[in-house]
């Protein structure tokens, strides 16, 4: 089990280090936001480093950049293949689509 935890930590660092964000030049901003949301998740989600769809929608509303909830929910489920949770890489992809391309469902 220790190896998989180490692997997840390394993956988290690799994904965050490879980000290229055009908005404010802070490549780790999305990773920091994911970690902030993760702190409010239940123990199981924190252990597996995933956030649920409701937390994601609430966060988008709190930062004032949330398209209508059902559109976000459909996008979330499209990216996560109908799961109620997302990983960091899925979180990055969902936010990229919302921020750069809008929602066109």
Annotate 53-86 with b (16+ C-beta within 10 A) or e (fewer): bebbbebbeeeeebeeeeebeebbeebbeeeebb
Residue range 18-68, pLDDT digits in tens: 444 444 444 468 888 999 999 999 999 999 999 999 999 999 888 877 677
Q: Where are the domains of the chain?
A: 2-101
The closest alpha carbon to 96, from 15, 42, 40, belongs to 15
pTM: 0.71
3-state secondary structure of 44: helix
99 — pLDDT class (breaks 50, 70, 90): confident
């Amino acid at each position: 089990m220790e190896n998989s935890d180490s692997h997840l930590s390394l993956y988290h660092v690799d994904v965050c280090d490879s980000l290229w964000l055009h908005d404010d030049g802070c490549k780790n901003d999305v990773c920091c936001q994911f970690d902030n949301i993760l702190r409010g998740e239940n123990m199981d989600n924190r252990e597996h480093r995933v956030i649920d769809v409701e937390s994601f929608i609430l966060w988008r509303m709190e930062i004032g950049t949330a398209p209508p909830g059902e559109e976000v929910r459909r996008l979330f489920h499209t990216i996560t293949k109908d799961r109620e949770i997302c990983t960091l890489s899925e979180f990055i992809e969902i936010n990229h689509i919302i921020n750069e391309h809008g929602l066109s469902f």
